[in-house]
Amino acid sequence: MNEEVSSTEVVPVPGRAVAVPSANRRSERRLGWMLCAPAAVVMLAVTGWPIVYSVLLSLQRFDLRFPARKAWIGVDNYATVLGSSFWWNAFAVTVLVTVVSVAVELVLGMVIALVMYRTIVGRGLVRAVVLIPYGIVTVAAAYGWKYAWTPGTGFLTRLLPAGSAPLTDHFPAIGIIILAEIWKTTPFMALLLMAGLALVPEDTLKAASTDGATAWQRFTQITLPLMKPAILAALLFRTLDAFRIFDDIFVLTNGAQNTGSVSLIAYHNLIGGLNLGIGSTMSVLIFVTVALIAFVFVKVLGTSAPDAGRR
Amino acid sequence: MDRTAGGITRWSLVNLLVLLYALVPVVWIASLSFKDPSTFTDGTFFPTRWTLRNYSGIFDNADFVRGLGNSIGIGLVSTLVAIVIGTMAAYAVARLDFPGKPLVLGLSLLIAMFPQISLVTPLFEIERTLGLFDTWPGLILPYITFALPLTIYTLSTFFKEIPWDLEKAAKMDGATPFQAFRRVIVPLATPGVVTTAILAFIVCWNDFLFSISLTSSSRARTAPATISFFTGSSQFENPTGSIAAAAIVITVPIVVFVLVFQRRIVAGLTSGAVKG
Amino acid sequence: MAEIVLSGVTKRYPDGTTAVQDLDLSIADREFIILVGPSGCGKSTTLNMIAGLEDISEGELLIDGRRVNDRAPRDRDIAMVFQSYALYPHMTVRENIGFPLKLARMDKAEANAKIEEAARILAIEPFLDRRPAHLSGGQRQRVAMGRAIVRNPKAFLMDEPLSNLDAKLRVQMRTMISRLQNQLGTTTVYVTHDQTEAMTLGDRIVLMRRGIVQQVGTPEELYDHPHNLFVAGFIGSPSMNFLPADISGGALHSVLGEIPLSDRMRRALEAHHSPDRVVMGVRPEAFADASLDRRREHDAGELRFGGRVEILESLGAEKFAYIDLEPGTVVDSEHLADAFQGHSPGHRHAQIVARLDPRSQASEGRMLELEYDPASIHLFEPETGLNLTEHV
């Protein structure tokens, strides 16, 4: 009917450009800057300087237990960290946890999203209850999982052969870490995917139906492609989020049996070892890795800048 | 959609599975918290002997009570500040045209994706130098920072949903810019601000890493971190009951928020994401 | 009640684009004036400048003789109805209508009386305590009108107020607005992109294209005496038929055949350096089915031409016959592209459309002979679009 947008009723007239913005626009600019300034200053102050500072720290030998030996040592810390099997083990654990949990969350999250979106009974109840794992404090949930798998105490260990203590074995422990991570964050994934489902027009699905597509064909040929942006955004956020996994591992194993993530061993180097040089080096490496992941998502997979992190 | 009896039964069954998924682990912690300490090792899902001793125990524990107070206080202050400055920035991002806008959005996005551990090391050292270590402000600052991106994105989406024409209409109806803001924009933005505040509070309440790294005593340590220091020696041999009870205590307020504001939280969480 | 004068008003954006250029317009007290044109013609910008929602880059805006360029909207005493209605969703209908009065700090009882009065005029009394979300489109539109009339402003500004309504409701509301304006006698500036609305509502029409006024006049003037190709194409539905034509040997040559130049045409052409190519335009309603002409006095000057009817649309009171023309007879002009916004002029105008009497026996696929008066032919200069027959 009316495709008009009044503010774009504009016609270029060559050679009549006006360089000086009107007073109105100048005041709009000033107001914009003033309103954004506090937020920008806080964000820059709390992240900007620390990042620079951590790069500086990473180039020094700086162990709080031996402050006298503080010295600039160039990239030695990087050589130490990158030459350490602890680091690479933690890196492998982090990647494993990230890949497996995000992959499972995508599938499970899609199933839950479809249930929340399509269910014909108790929709409000389902949507509300699904939010509980999202809302629960990660540490609280992690203790629940810990006790569930503790021999004697846990109802889940009773399902296992007598005498097994899964949290004390490398792979079972990682499995439990992944389980805890998946349980907690799948609802968030499901919500993002549900928002994506809402982007698929009902009429398009109906049209596909009349064209003879089965339910599965409609899902794979229509729904999934149309949801691609939502899926990529959800994957990006969850990947970056999973990569910084800390709370679950801290509670479940605290890194025992080589189950520490990169965040956890960086923390141990800092708080346990009070080694600021090595801790900072790891911080920088983690930061760089996260940046690389984000870059790959944005450039290679073509995710456009999605919404800010909602944990 | 098939609303037949069969369809309803099928969907009810599917819903039940989803509900079990979400609830079993929570019910497990709750039932653990009600178990009599002597029955912890019986391995049953539900308590065989119910007790409230675990709860009375943790509320007798000065550290935990302090931690809870810290969590509430630090969470509220951080949320309040983040909402106030985040609202200003979000309004600017949604409504005004100024150079530097992409910068603000870019910075927010960057922080949203930022690994917290990368900040912990330098902040640990910086805060010790500045005397912020183990204080409320020492935690409030990073909390505000990590709550801001969410606040700015969510609120700017809410602001964008308020049609421009309403402001124009108010002006035509004789309102001053302030009256237009106060009588039209504020009432319409309030639901969005409330939702965002809840989400920001959850972010702060949920934090663990900053709290265990940037505190060294119960002065500023928040509840989740306090729980991880439970040893059990003060009350019982085994901290299981205390930890479970404390876990439930810090979970209940969030669960209540989430259930009460379910619709808005879903809208808030997904508001901008779909455009991604 | 007010007189509104725009003189030399120009709107230029910081990026150098000009939305409105050098607009002169004098709107009389109690006048109902329509700003019409395709998307991007500057009509909404003009309205916003009158409202005070956009700054005027150059020129003057006078309301009742006072320069108001720098006054805030609230100091201009003008009410506006928005396309989106812009009802405040958090207020009831009563509060929406009463909002301007509340801002003016009017006494409660007095305000209530005015609200009731406005609601009565617009027949929205039953909904006064509802929220806009619970109203239909037509009801919302009337609430928006109510908010405008309640404080008895100097002028109404309406920005496409009917374009979100369905066709039937739009016709109803159109008559309601017309009646209301007659009753209240308030100066009204009304923006639309719909030429039917423009023709039916306005005392005068201001037709704009690309920020520039093309013609100002009564609906009849614009219809009968279009200044240029754009105006001719924009006003009238279905649009005027346009055909390329050559002039040689004292005759006009087009697919309609050879037409001897009348004195009127000859004078028009001579006044413009006797071009040898023109665009000829004939309105669909200028044609008549020649077979029905028997009873009528046969005018020796009538022209005839025949063609095969491709499509026949019968609307009961009238019939439209679409007669196919050979390819290559399409007038390709920027002016027309603007006038037919969004439609591909190429396809539509490879045809002649004729509006026929319902008694016509024409049928699809059959030949039809049409006749028309040479006086109904407009000749346009192809490049500038100027109507030669109107500028002698």
- What confidence tens digit (pLDDT) does each residue in C133-177 have? 999 999 999 999 999 999 899 999 999 999 989 989 999 999 999
Kindly list the averaged pLDDT for each block of 10 residues, start to end, along chain B of length 276: 77 92 93 87 85 90 93 97 94 86 87 87 90 95 94 88 88 87 87 90 94 92 91 61 93 88 80 46
How far apart are the C-alpha atoms of C172 and C170, rounded to whole Å? 5
Question: pLDDT band for position C328 (50/70/90)?
Answer: low
**B161 chain-C contacts, CB cut-off 8 A:** none
The amino acid present at C165, given as its one-letter code, is: L
**Residues near A146 by Cβ (< 8 Å), separated by ≥ 6?**
A167, A251, A252
From its phi and psi, is residue C321 left (phi > 0), alpha (psi between -120 and 50) or beta? beta
Is C52 in Cβ contact with B171 (below 8 Å)? Answer: yes
Residue A11, min C-alpha distance to chain C (Å): 5
Among A285-294, B243-252, C204-213, C332-341, the range scoring the smallest mean pLDDT is C332-341
Residue environment code for C134-156, b if the CB has 16+ CB neighbours within 10 A, otherwise e: ebeebbbbbbbbbbbbbbebbbb
Q: What is the pLDDT of residue B237?
A: 56
Picking from C333, C316, C327, C318, the residue whose alpha carbon sits closest to that of residue C383 is C333
Q: C275: helix, coil or strand?
A: coil
Q: Is the pLDDT of residue A3 over 70?
A: no
Longest dimension (CA), chain B: 73
Task: For chain B, say whether C90 makes contact (Cβ under 8 Å).
Answer: yes
Q: Is the pLDDT of residue A48 over 80?
A: yes
Is A127 in Cβ contact with B224 (below 8 Å)? Answer: no
For strands C251-254 and C212-217, give the pairing.
unpaired
Picking from B122, B214, B112, the residue whose alpha carbon sits closest to that of residue A283 is B122
Q: What is the pLDDT of residue A309?
A: 37
Residue B165, min C-alpha distance to chain C (Å): 5
Q: Is the pLDDT of residue C118 over 70?
A: yes
How far apart are the C-alpha atoms of C163 and A162, rounded to whole Å? 75
**A89 exposure class (CB count in 10 Å sphere: 0-12, 13-18, 19+):** middle
Question: pLDDT band for position A187 (50/70/90)?
Answer: very high
How far apart are the C-alpha atoms of C374 and C376, rounded to whole Å? 5
Please state which CATH class domain C4-229 belongs to.
alpha beta
**B149 chain-A contacts, CB cut-off 8 A:** 43, 308-309
Q: Please report the residues numbered 226 through 245 in chain B whose beta carbons come closer than 8 angstroms to any beta carbon of chain A.
A: 227-228, 240, 243-244
How far apart are the C-alpha atoms of A120 and A134, rounded to whole Å? 23
Looking at per-residue pLDDT, the higher value among C229 and B186 belongs to C229
DSSP C336-379: HHHHTTTS-HHHHTTEEEEEE-TT----TTSEEEEEE-GGG-EE
The amino acid present at C38, given as its one-letter code, is: P
Tens digit of pLDDT for each residue in A128-144?
899 899 889 999 999 99
Average pLDDT over residues C231-243: 91
Domain ranges of chain A: 71-301
Q: What is the pLDDT of residue C230?
A: 94
List C-alpha distances in Å: A283 to A103, A246, B17: 26, 13, 40
Is C86 in Cβ contact with B187 (below 8 Å)? Answer: no
Task: For chain B, say whether C95 makes contact (Cβ under 8 Å).
Answer: no
Q: Is the pLDDT of residue C269 over 80?
A: yes
Is B104 in Cβ contact with A132 (below 8 Å)? Answer: no
How far apart are the C-alpha atoms of A178 and A169, rounded to whole Å? 14
Report yes or no: C336 and C229 within 8 Å, Cβ to Cβ.
yes
Report yes or no: B130 and B143 within 8 Å, Cβ to Cβ.
no
Question: pLDDT band for position A25 (50/70/90)?
Answer: low
Picking from C265, C77, C247, the residue whose alpha carbon sits closest to that of residue C155 is C77
Task: For chain A, say whether C83 makes contact (Cβ under 8 Å).
Answer: yes
The amino acid present at A75, given as its one-letter code, is: V
**Phi first, then psi: what are they for C289, rounded to 5°?**
-70, 120
From its phi and psi, is residue B89 left (phi > 0), alpha (psi between -120 and 50) or beta? alpha
Residue environment code for B42-77, b if the CB has 16+ CB neighbours within 10 A, otherwise e: eeeeebeeebebbbebbeebebbebbbebbeebbeb
Q: C305: helix, coil or strand?
A: strand
How far apart are the C-alpha atoms of C367 and A141, rounded to whole Å? 84
How far apart are the C-alpha atoms of C209 and C336, rounded to whole Å? 11
Q: What is the pLDDT of residue C295?
A: 52
* Range B62-229 classified under CATH 1.10.340.30: no
**Residues near B87 by Cβ (< 8 Å), separated by ≥ 6?**
B151, B155, B189, B193
Question: pLDDT band for position A31 (50/70/90)?
Answer: confident
Domain ranges of chain C: 4-229, 239-380
Report yes or no: C132 and C88 within 8 Å, Cβ to Cβ.
yes
Average pLDDT over residues C52-67: 93
Q: Please report the residues numbered 314 through 333 in chain C whose beta carbons come closer than 8 angstroms to any beta carbon of chain A.
A: none
**Phi first, then psi: what are they for C157, rounded to 5°?**
-115, 130
Q: Is the pLDDT of residue C376 over 60?
A: yes
Neighbour count for residue B188 (Cβ, 10 Å)? 18
Q: Is the pLDDT of residue A214 over 50?
A: yes
Task: For chain A, say whether C88 makes contact (Cβ under 8 Å).
Answer: no
Residue C256, min C-alpha distance to chain A (Å): 34
How far apart are the C-alpha atoms of B145 and A243, rounded to whole Å? 20
Task: For chain C, say whether B187 makes contact (Cβ under 8 Å).
Answer: yes
pLDDT above 90 coverage of chain C, percent: 66
Task: For chain B, say whether A296 makes contact (Cβ under 8 Å).
Answer: no
**Phi first, then psi: what are they for C251, rounded to 5°?**
-140, 160
Residue environment code for C31-64, b if the CB has 16+ CB neighbours within 10 A, otherwise e: bbbbbbbbbbbbbbbbbbbbbbbbebbebebbbe
Please state which CATH class domain C239-380 belongs to.
mainly beta
A-C contacts (CB, under 8 Å)? 65
Question: pLDDT band for position A18 (50/70/90)?
Answer: very low
DSSP B85-136: HHHHHHHHHHH---TTHHHHHHHHHHHHH--THHHHHHHHHHHHHHT-TTSH
Is A18 in Cβ contact with C16 (below 8 Å)? Answer: yes
Among A78-82, C118-122, C299-303, C365-369, the range scoring the smallest mean pLDDT is C299-303
Is A125 in Cβ contact with B19 (below 8 Å)? Answer: yes
Q: Report the DSSP beta bridge partners of residue C191.
A: C35, C159
Domain ranges of chain B: 62-229
Question: pLDDT band for position A121 (50/70/90)?
Answer: confident
Strand ranges for C193-302 from DSSP E: 204-209, 212-217, 241-248, 251-254, 257-260, 277-282, 288-289
Q: What is the pLDDT of residue C350?
A: 66
Report yes or no: C216 and C25 within 8 Å, Cβ to Cβ.
yes
Is A9 in Cβ contact with C39 (below 8 Å)? Answer: yes
Q: Is the pLDDT of residue C208 over 70?
A: yes
Q: What is the pLDDT of residue C98?
A: 94
pLDDT above 70 coverage of chain A, percent: 88
Instruction: Kindly report the average pLDDT of chain C as a whole number.
Output: 90
Residue A198, min C-alpha distance to chain C (Å): 22
List C-alpha distances in Å: C338 to A14, A202, C208, C213, C363: 19, 35, 11, 14, 33
> Quick one: DSSP state of residue B185?
I
Q: Is the pLDDT of residue A302 over 70?
A: no
DSSP B12-32: HHHHHHHHHHHHHHHHHHHHH
Q: A116: helix, coil or strand?
A: helix
- Rounded to the nearest 10 degrees, how much is the dihedral formed by the CA atoms of B9, B11, B13, B16? -130
Q: What is the pLDDT of residue A73?
A: 87
* Global model pTM greater than 0.90: no
Q: Is the pLDDT of residue A5 over 50?
A: no
- Under CATH, which number does the domain A71-301 receive? 1.10.3720.10
For strands C277-282 and C241-248, give the pairing.
antiparallel
Report yes or no: C388 and C262 within 8 Å, Cβ to Cβ.
no
